[in-house]
Amino acid sequence: METTTVTHKLIAGNWKMNGSLAGNEALLQAILAGLDADTAAVDVAVCVPAPYLAQVQALCTGSPLAWGAQDVSEHEAGAYTGEVSAAMLRDFGCRYVIVGHSERRRDHGESDEAVARKAQRALACGITPIVCVGETEVQREAGQTEAVVKRQLAAVIHTVGHCVSEIVVAYEPVWAIGTGRTATPEQAQTVHAVLRAQLGAAVPEPRRVRILYGGSMNAGNAAALLAQPDIDGGLIGGASLKAEEFLRIVRAAV
């Protein structure tokens, strides 16, 4: 059987807890103005705080820019004050949702199993989960990187089954998130290859699953990272809040 490979890289911005109505509009208008025929070969998205989803939907509907959320409830509906369901995200046209970001795992105690259930809820509503995996500095220094990322991804594979071919994976070494440090292209490629092999044991066409790199990707290092054979895009933090820099990363993915 012929193997299907990723044809379009994905560059997804994670705004984290940043934004304002006026600032969002200016940022989005600048990004939209910079997307042209050349960047059509790249899938581009922004994952924004939930209160701004209606604004982003209004500004971006019909444009090349997709949008998503930064978290989703593992529950379908009910008495879960403050949570947002996948069905609600679908109402606002979300194509993506980030699940299992290291900040959620660290600050909110999210387990591998909880992250897997969130991915399952997203898929059930036709939303693509961007499943984050990554090791801390202590784990890397202890030689545990491969074991950690494989454990995190295994929980998702076990829960979603054959639907794992519909997810996006984002490798984000925790020690490189928001620190200005980044994995070298070779370090990142090594982990991406491990994840690709793990996916290969679960789905017939592992090249269909996009594996993004996150962790201080910026306009200066994007081209070298994106040139690696198993890096299919980037999950961009701080650089996604600056239109010019974000667009430079998008162009590096062409």
Annotation says 192 is catalytic? no
Tell me, what amino acid is at 88? M
Asked if residue 67 lies in contact with residue 19, where contact means CB atoms within 8 angstroms, the answer is: no
Go through 13-40 and write b for each residue having 16 or more CB atoms within 10 A of its CB, e for each that does not.
bbbbebbeeeebeebbeebeebbeeebe
Q: What are 128's strand-pairing partners?
A: 96
Collect all residues with Cβ–Cβ distance below 8 Å to 215 and sequence separation of at least 6. Answer: 134, 171, 172, 173, 175, 176, 177, 181, 182, 183
- Among candidate residues 74, 110, 172, 192, the one labeled active-site is 172
- Phi first, then psi: give them for residue 44, nearest 5 degrees: -125, 135
Tokens of residue 71, six digits = 């978290």
- Active-site option among 74, 101, 103, 135: 101
Residues listed for the chain: 254
Query: 3-state DSSP call for residue 59?
Result: helix
- In this structure, what token pair is assigned to residue 234? 């980037």
Q: Is 101 a catalytic residue?
A: yes
Provide the annotated active-site residues. Answer: 101, 172
